[in-house]
Every structure is written in structure tokens, then in C-alpha cells.
């Protein structure tokens, strides 16, 4: 099995032990089996002695000495002609048999195959990582473009809303100013009418007082009456002039408003004409004929 983190190969312990077991000759296997049975018997006897000690502690010393002597004799009886290979050695067995496995051609073939598999896996992993980075970069670019477009649209919408709000406020301000002017005129009219009425009443009262005067003062009365009449006429003429002046002012205000409207329309027309002239000039430059020397006569085909 190949480890993906550091690229090192780990060989199972069981496989190495079985391979080494296959290389051991038949005689060594028989000796190995004998040693295994002996170890089992010794373990069994030790367990029996432990049980006896627990049951009878006085007889423990004699049993221990007997078991020790028996094991010693057994150990002397079995000659160790070849090293005993045990299946419980684990990684120590791998280290002992490393030289043997490196010399074997099958181990080299397996090692090469595993190295090739690991190399191909590593290349696929690198390609996959590059593809993931590329897709993440593309997603980030698309997200950035979308956010920029949304922000530009929001800016345009806010500018358009501000312009519409500004025009609306200008219209409302103009309407309010006109309304205030009308209200002021309406407030002035009743005051002026009251003033006229009081003055007329005073004139009538004065006239009545003069008519009720004595006969001896008839000439003076006539003179005063004449003066009062003249005053009344002057007052009426003055009032008439004031009314005419108010009408003239109202007409002049209306004329100024009409003039402002006309001037605004004129400025718009002039702006449109300028824009049209610019467009015509641009189109004329695009459709202008090629340059010719000044001495050369050209004839146009349009008559």
C-alpha cells in the first residue's frame, strides 16, 4: 500500500513473515513447530504452578524449583541449529529480512510498480489542484464583474432619481411663488376697497355738512363744495390711476413670465440647432471628398 502524504511505501508485516516462512527449509519448519509446542507446554505448566501456589502457598517453593529444573532440562535437550522465526516479531522481523527482500527480484518489481502508481497519482493530484485553482479564479472574476455592473447600475439609477427629484422640486417652488403672489394681491384688494369706501363716506359726510350750512355762507359753501368736489375728483382720479398701475404691474408680471418661457424655449431651440449643426459637421467631414490640388478643376456630377 502507498502512503499519499510522504510517498513512502509500507509493507505489511504479515506478508513479509509469510515470505520468509516460505524461504525456510522443511527441517527448520519442523524444529520451529517443536519449539512452539515446547513453549506452549512450559506456559501451561507455569499457569498450573500459579494456581497451585494460590491454593497452597506452602508447596509453592517445591513446585517452583521442580518447574524451573524441568524447563532447564527441556531447554538443554533442544539444540538450536537455526534461528527461530516467530510471527510476533512485527517490525523487527521486517528489519531483519530487509536485506533478503531487497535482493529478491519480485520485491524490486513490486517496488517499481508502486512507485509508478504513486507518481501517476501525484501528477493527477497536481492537475486537479491546478484545475480547482483555475475554476476558483474564474468564479472570483465573474463575481467581481457582476458586482461592478450592479454598482454602476445603482449609480445610474441614483443619478436619474436625483435629477427627477430636482426638477420636481423646482416646479413645486415655482408654483408656491406664484401662489404667494396671488395671495398677496387678494389680501391687498379688500384693504384697498375698504380705504376707498371710507374716503367716499367721508366725502359724502362733508358734502352733507356743507349743504346743511346757513344761507349767509352760501358762497363759502359753494366754494368749499367746489373744493370738496375737486378733492373727490382728484381722489377718484388717483384711485383710477392706482388701479391702472396695478393692472399694468400684473400685465408686466405676466409679460415677464411669458418672456422667460419664450427665452427658455429659444435657448432649447438654439441648443438643438447647435447639436444638429455639430452632427451635420461630423457627417460632412465623414462624407467630404478627397483632397485635390487648388489648380485642378473638378466637375460635379450633380446638376
What digits encode the pLDDT tens for the residues 253-277? Answer: 888 889 899 999 999 999 999 898 8
pLDDT over 90, % of the chain = 17
Domain boundary among 82, 102, 119: 119
Dig out the grid coordinates for 268 from the structure: 432649447
Flag whether 51 is in a domain: yes
Domains in the chain, number? 2
Q: Domain range holding 232?
A: 213-278
Three cell numbers written together for 255: 409679460
Q: Is position 291 within any domain?
A: no
Residue 181 belongs to a domain: no
At residue 11's C-alpha, the angle toward residues 7 and 17, to 5°, is: 170
In a domain? residue 255: yes
pLDDT digits (tens, 9 = 90+) for 86-107: 444 444 444 445 555 555 566 6
pLDDT exceeding 70 applies to what percent of the chain? 54
Q: How far is the C-alpha of 128 from the C-alpha of 3, rounded, in Å?
A: 18
Average pLDDT over residues 43-68: 54
Instruction: Show Cβ contacts of residue 192 under 8 Å, excluding neighbours closer than 6 positions.
Output: 242
Calculate the alpha carbon distances from 187 to 29, 174, 192, 220, 252 in Å: 133, 20, 9, 42, 20
Residue bearing the bigger pLDDT, 170 or 50: 170
What's the DSSP call for residue 145?
Answer: H
Q: What is the mean pLDDT of residues 100-122?
A: 76
Asked whether residue 127 is domain-assigned, the answer is no
| 170 within a domain of the structure (yes/no) | no
Any domain includes 99: yes
38 belongs to a structural domain: yes
Amino acid at each position: 500500500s502507498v502512503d499519499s502524504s510522504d510517498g513512502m511505501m509500507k509493507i505489511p508485516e504479515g506478508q513479509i513473515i509469510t515470505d520468509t516462512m516460505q524461504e525456510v527449509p522443511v527441517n527448520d519448519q519442523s524444529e520451529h513447530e517443536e519449539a512452539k509446542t515446547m513453549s506452549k507446554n512450559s506456559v501451561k505448566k507455569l499457569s498450573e504452578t500459579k494456581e497451585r501456589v494460590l491454593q497452597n502457598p506452602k508447596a509453592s517453593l517445591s513446585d517452583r524449583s521442580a518447574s524451573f529444573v524441568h524447563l532447564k532440562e527441556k531447554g538443554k535437550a533442544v539444540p538450536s541449529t537455526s534461528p527461530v522465526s516467530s510471527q510476533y516479531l512485527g517490525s523487527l522481523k521486517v528489519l531483519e529480512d530487509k536485506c533478503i527482500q531487497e535482493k529478491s527480484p519480485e520485491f524490486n518489481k513490486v517496488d517499481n510498480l508502486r512507485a509508478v502508481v504513486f507518481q501517476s497519482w501525484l501528477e493527477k493530484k497536481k492537475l486537479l489542484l491546478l484545475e480547482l485553482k483555475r475554476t476558483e479564479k474564474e468564479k472570483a472574476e465573474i463575481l467581481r464583474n457582476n458586482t461592478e455592473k450592479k454598482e454602476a447600475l445603482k449609480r445610474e439609477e441614483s443619478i436619474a432619481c436625483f435629477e427627477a427629484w430636482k426638477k420636481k422640486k423646482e416646479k413645486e417652488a415655482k408654483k408656491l411663488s406664484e401662489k404667494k403672489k396671488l395671495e398677496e394681491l387678494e389680501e391687498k384688494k379688500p384693504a384697498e376697497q375698504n380705504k376707498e369706501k371710507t374716503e367716499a363716506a367721508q366725502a359724502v359726510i362733508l358734502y352733507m355738512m356743507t349743504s346743511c350750512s346757513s344761507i349767509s355762507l352760501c358762497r363759502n359753501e359753494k366754494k368749499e363744495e367746489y373744493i370738496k368736489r375737486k378733492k373727490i375728483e382728484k381722489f377718484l382720479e388717483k384711485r383710477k390711476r392706482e388701479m391702472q398701475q396695478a393692472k399694468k404691474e400684473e400685465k408686466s408680471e405676466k409679460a415677464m413670465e411669458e418672456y422667460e418661457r419664450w427665452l427658455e424655449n429659444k435657448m432649447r431651440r438654439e441648443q438643438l440647432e447647435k447639436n444638429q449643426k455639430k452632427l451635420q459637421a461630423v457627417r460632412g467631414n465623414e462624407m467630404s471628398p478627397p483632397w485635390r490640388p487648388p489648380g485642378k478643376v473638378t466637375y460635379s456630377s450633380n446638376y
